[in-house]
Amino acid sequence: MTILTNAEIFVDGELKKLDIALEEDKICALGRNLEGEQRIDCSGKIVLPGLIDVHVHARDLKQSHKEDWESLGRAAIAGGVTTVFAMPNTDPPLDTVERVRDYRRRAQASKINAKVYGAITLGNYKNLEQIAPHVDAFKLYLGETTGHLSVSDKKLHREIFKSVTQTEKILTVHAQRGGDPQDVTRHEADDICYVLDLAAAYKTKLHIAHVTTQRAVEAILEAKRSKVDVSFETCPHYLYFTAKDRESRGAWLKMNPPLATEEDREFLWWALQEGLIDMIATDHAPHTIEEKIVGYAKAPAGVPGIEFLLPLLFDAVNASKLSLGRLVEVCCTNPARRFGLTHKGEIAVGRDADLVVIDPDREKTITRKDVGSRCGWSPYEGLTLRGWPVMVFVGGLKRNPPCAALSNERQN
């Protein structure tokens, strides 16, 4: 039995000075002065549930030069993430039972909890019931993205929503159409209203990926009031960057959907703190430096992000832009509840021993040499953040994030 002692533990919505006992892959006790074979002193640290990122591109297969499961796991641990949902627009795509099974085997190299989406394509939309037992959710692309899996026929959309409803799986939708960045931002709310109407008509469990604008958030909130079964996410890059940043940094901030306005960014921060946003997911979409330096027009869309998820958000907690309770809700509790991870998302006896131990005062500037993702760069380079993971437990097994070994960061 392993005992974490002298930390502040986020339990029942607040920090409490308690010990945590871990046995095998579960939390077996919470209390004071617990006894066990191994004791780990966490004085001055905060312990949260392991983060759950429901939107990650693990790549691998024919795109392992961008990322593979081993490097994705390393990056996830650095960001305090213990569970990921891997998107299916791989090469080849995860659109058959055989490919999904193979991808799950590959995911074991990550040493984290790996969930897998099934791709909905023109070739398999009639056979979703065969794939459903092997996937954790389905993904439908209505806009063009890496992998060319978009489905544009509106008649097929109705059939797809109906079929997914019958599987009882969540359908995550990339609703935003492509085009000029300003146009994509302008019509995002209309695109999202279209899928909300389909979900209402077919009673589909809908999750909307990477929402960027105030109008889109307001449309989703209105749908919720009308009892549409919908959740949604936004991403850290929409909280930290805007279209003006894209103008100055070019392909390094090219993503799909594109960055929105400063007004939208400010609204997202407000909505996040007010409890209006369900989840933060990274849309970790690694492409190599060589693929990004070819210029905006030719570069692929997408930025890496998973390994700085917790530092980015905990820095916001330290800056009083976000409460610790909201961080846990959008990165742990809400994803677990929505995606049926009944043993994850909170610290309680009997729950999975997926934990992240944070030094709230550790301060570090992100540099390229620190990037663990195989892509080798980060859009957050140069940011100085306070609050970093120093220990991570996945199923009770201790994993050391890179920050645990740092000795040259400034302590406050």
Q: Which two tokens stand for residue 40?
A: 């780990």
Cis ω on the peptide bond leading into residue 92 (within 30° of 0)? yes
Say which residues have a Cβ less than 8 Å from residue 171's Cβ, sequence separation at least 6: 137, 138, 139, 140, 160, 161, 164, 199, 204, 205, 206, 207
283 catalytic per annotation? yes
Amino acid at 237: H
* DSSP H or E stretch at residue 365: strand 355-365
Q: Which amino acid, 397?
A: L
User: Each residue of 252-288: b (16+ CB within 10 Å) or e?
Assistant: bbbbbbbbbbeebbebbbebbeeebbbbbbbbbbbbb
3-state secondary structure of 140: strand
Nearest to 178 by CA among 251, 88, 257, 292: 257
Q: Any residues with CB less than 8 A from the CB of 33 and at least 6 apart, and which?
A: 19
**For residues 44 and 13, what is the distance between their CA atoms, to the nearest angstrom?**
19
- Within 8 A by CB and 6+ apart from 98, the residues are none
Q: Can you spell out the DSSP letters for 123-138?
A: TTGGGHHHHGGG-SEE
Catalytic residue, from 95, 191, 278, 283: name it: 283
SS3 state at 47 = strand
What backbone phi and psi angles, to 5 degrees, belong to 54? -85, 5
Provide the annotated active-site residues: 283
